[in-house]
Structure formats: C-alpha cells, structure tokens
Chain A
Amino acid sequence: MTDETLLSARKLSLSYGMLPALVDVDVDLWPGEMLAVVGESGSGKTTLLNVLSGRLAPDAGAVWYRDPDGHLHDVHAMPAPALRTLHRSDWGFVHQDPRQNLRMNVTAGGNVGERLMAQGARHYGSIREQAIDWLTQVEIDAGRIDDMPRTFSGGMLQRLQIARTLVTHPRLVFMDEPTGSLDVSVQARLLDLIRSLVTRLNIAVVLVTHDIGVARLLAHRIIVMQRGRVVETGLTDQVLDDPQHPYTQLLVSSVLHA
C-alpha cells in the first residue's frame, strides 16, 4: 500500500455566475483506486470531474497529479501541451455518450489504435494486433475490427470507447456516467467489464454516477455531493450502509437494494 496519492485536490471552488457548482472540495485518489462521486442531478459531479481532469479551471483551489517518476504537477498550471499529452497517455476519459469520444467515420480498429499512434506507434501490424486484443477484451468480435462504429449498438459503442481509452494503459481514468445511456440489461455487463479491466490493470478511476448500485459495485471509496459540496465521504459500503449525513440517508433510502 503506497501512501502517496496519484491525484489530490484541495479547496476546489467554482461558480457559474451566482450558482456555486463546487464549494471547498477536497479529493484524494490513490493508485489503482476506484472513487465514486455520487449525488443528485446538478450537484456538481461533472463539474468536479472536469476540474479534476484539467478541462475546466476552478475559481480557487488546486489539483495535483503525481507522474510515474513521482513528480507532482499542478494540473491547472501545466502548459497546454503537457496536459494534452497527459490526456492521451497517462489519463483517459470515458464519456456518457460514446459518440463524443469516438470517431464515427473511422473503423473500430482505427478508433482503438489512435492513442497508440498519437504516442508514436508506427508498426501497422502491432497496432492492429493490439486493437484486436482490446476488442476481444471488451467482448467485441475481432471480426468487426474494420467496421464503422455507426453499425454498433449502444453497448458496443460504450465498450469500444473503453477499449480506445484503455489501450495505452492509462494510470487514471475519468468516467462520467459510463452506463448512463444504456438500458439496464446491457449495464450489468459493462459494469462487470469495467470492474475486471480496471482491477486487472490497476487503473485508478474517478467515476461519476447518480446510480448508487453502480458505485457500490465498483468503488472502493465514495464521495457524496450536494449543491457543490462534499457532504460525506468514506468507504463505499460504510457510507451506503451507515450513512451519517441527512442527504446521504435520503439518497440511500430512495433506492431499492442499493
């Protein structure tokens, strides 16, 4: 167990006009850890994810990332090229709508291979091999490698997005409602897939979800947000089974078998 965090945020605040979307938020994430961010719609989950990943600058506070060499980087003070490099190598982002991330006019193989090529992979055969390997890992038939994503179902698109993101073995992946756009029958399969891949590859994940069941299934720790504030945080099963804050109790009581 390492004591050094992979990502740490302190006193993050951000307002949209008069609306406080983040108020004094602290976050710590350790290597290989799954952290769920839950809360009702509009509580600031996506905003937090965007600030943590450097896509949105906070009004106050800082986010620190520790690179594989142990150096700390102030994410919001990083030069744009360095941040972009981070986003296409060490980090990954999984969107609720896979179409936001996938290139719909590029084959499945090209979609999976892009991050490899962006990192300088220049051997077609090996790029293709890795694409096939990843398609298989996300349970897409390797025979579909040259098909366009528009011929894929919603669940397949989401799995393709995951393959495209994980192919470079990122250390940290941000996920915003990865199962949100899928129907329930497909959700379970995807969750299981995320769970096993992330565990096996020891990837740290910040997972935004309003589905407490998803958080329970995947996350080691949980952050409960309400109106931009963290109202409770801790071990996932403790927070969900013995919630202390009134808002968490409300959240937990409003779902069956959470």
Chain B
Amino acid sequence: MSQVMLRTTALAKSFTLHLQGGVRIPVLSAIGLDLHSGECIVLSGPSGVGKSTLMRSLYGNYRAESGHILIRHRGEMVDLATADPRTILAVRHETLGYVSQFLRVVPRVPAVDVVAEVPTGRGASQDEARRIATDLLLRLNIPRRLHGLPPATFSGGEQQRVNLARGFIGNHPVLLLDEPTASLDAENRAVVISMINEAKARGTAIIAICHDAEVRDAIADRLFALTPLQDAA
C-alpha cells in the first residue's frame, strides 16, 4: 500500500471577526483525512461549507485552530498546525504545492519567469528553468508571444493556466488544487486532466476542489465530503 503523505486529525478552524463585534464563525471541526501518494481526493460539499478553508489550512495559509496537519517532508511527518513559519516555507518549497483559484500576479515579472521562479529557487540555471517553464506554458496552450509579458493583462483563463504551470513545475509530492479548471474551455480542461493523471502516476498525492463533475470523475480516486457545522454564534 502506498505511503500516507498527508494526515489531518481532529482539525478544527473557526474565524473570529473582531470588526463585527467578535462574532465567531466555526467552519471546520474534527476533520480527519488521510492522503496517500498517487491518490487524488476531491473535496465536496455545498458552497460555503469550508472546502477552500480546509485547503488553505493544509497549506498553512490559514492558521489551524486545533488538531494536527501532518505532512511527510524529507521522510518525516511535520505538523504544519504547529510548525514555525520557516518550516512551513521549507515544506512549501520542497513538498507542498498549491494552485490557488486566482493567480496573484507580481508586477512586471513576465509569465515565463513567474513559472521559472520555482526551479530557479531550487538552484536551476535561469536558462534551464525558462526552458522547462516554456514547455509547460506551451503545453497549457499559452502562446509564445505571451510568455515574455507580465500576466496582469492576461484573460482569466490564461492567468489560471499560468498559475497551473507554476503549480505543476515544481513536481511537489503533495499538490493542492483549488478549482484548477474553473475558467478553462474543454480543450484546456483536457490538458489539465491529463497533467493531473500523469502526476498521480508519478506518485503525487493530490487534493482538489472542483465543481465540474466531468473533471472530478476523471481525476478523483475518492471524494471527501464536508458537511456544514451548526453556527455557534
């Protein structure tokens, strides 16, 4: 049986909105989830149930309130719920990739370098990194003439494909994908599906959120259903 790459136990998350009189919004409670290498779990549940919140918590972008988020990093299980910021950054650098729903663009950096930044950050030469980035962008049907431009002016679908390239180029052992195909046409959806399945075949463990049933069926090994909590407030 393949290795557990990510495991959450009793994970809980709520938001306290101090600007709204301290109202507390519980979102996640007692989340226990095991993710194995080569496996793709798709999070399901109604809008607002907390799918993105769970994914962001797994990435360390949201602070887990209680419970554990264990990830296999350099052969050991590291608890992201309690890890210090530098450890979280190291885990993101080597082990944990994330494709957010929207690309956060860095001004002035051309698309190819947005993507190449990941390999250069790991010591690849600029040329080598750009070559891999170019291949990936081309595979995602970003025309060459756009590679040298900053993605700020790209269409929503183009930006998302740049984001996907950036997420996939690192070959992280664990990959989080938030609506990877939401604004893509059928042709590009197919490309992304095959990229996900290739990654799985390499042993990448994936957690995805996707509303598109066709994509979900094509990539999911199983679903993880979130159910709404009772509002405590």
Cβ-neighbour of A1 out of B17, B62, B86, B121 (below 8 A): B86
Q: How far is the CB of A231 from chain B (nearest CB, A)?
A: 11
- Say whether B19 contacts A238, CB under 8 Å: no
Min CB–CB distance B231 → chain A (angstroms):
19
Q: Which of A106-150 contact B (CB under 8 A)?
A: none
Q: Is the interface of A mostly helix, strand, loop or mixed?
A: helix
Q: In the assembled complex, which residues on chain A have CB atoms less than 8 Å from the CB atom of B121?
A: 199
How far apart sit A244 and B60, CA to CA, in the bound complex (Å)?
14
B53 nearest CB neighbor, chain A only: A242
CB within 8 Å of B: which of A183-208?
188-189, 191-192, 195, 199
Instruction: Evaluate contact between A192 and B106: CB separation under 8 angstroms.
Output: yes
For B59, give the chain A residue with the smallest CB separation.
A237
Chain B contacts of A80 at CB under 8 A?
none
* Selected contact of B109 from candidates A1, A192, A245, CB within 8 Å: A192
Chain A 215-258 per-residue mask, 1 if CB under 8 angstroms from chain B, else 0: 00100110000000000001101100110111001100100000
* Chain B minimum-CB-distance residue to A246: B18
Decide if B61 is an interface residue (CB 8 Å cutoff): yes
Q: Per-residue CB proximity of B13-33 to A under 8 Å, as 1/0?
A: 001111100000000000000
Q: How large, as a class, is the contact surface on chain B?
A: 20 to 34
* In the complex, chain A residues whose CB is within 8 Å of the CB of B90: 1
Cβ A241 vs Cβ B61 within 8 A: yes
List chain A positions with a Cβ less than 8 A from chain B.
Answer: 1, 30, 33, 188-189, 191-192, 195, 199, 217, 220-221, 234-235, 237-238, 241-242, 244-246, 249-250, 253
- A30, A195, A244, A250: the one contacting B19 at CB < 8 Å is A250
In chain B, residues 127-148, which have Cβ atoms closer than 8 Å to a Cβ of chain A? none
CB-defined contacts of B89 to chain A, threshold 8 Å: 220, 235
Contacts of A237 in B (CB 8 A): 61
Provide the bound-state CA to CA distance between A234 and B84, in Å: 8
Interface residues of B in 51-83 (CB under 8 A from A): 56, 60-63
Q: Is B85 positioned at the interface, with any CB of A under 8 Å from its CB?
A: yes
Is B56 within 8 A of A241, CB to CB?
Answer: yes
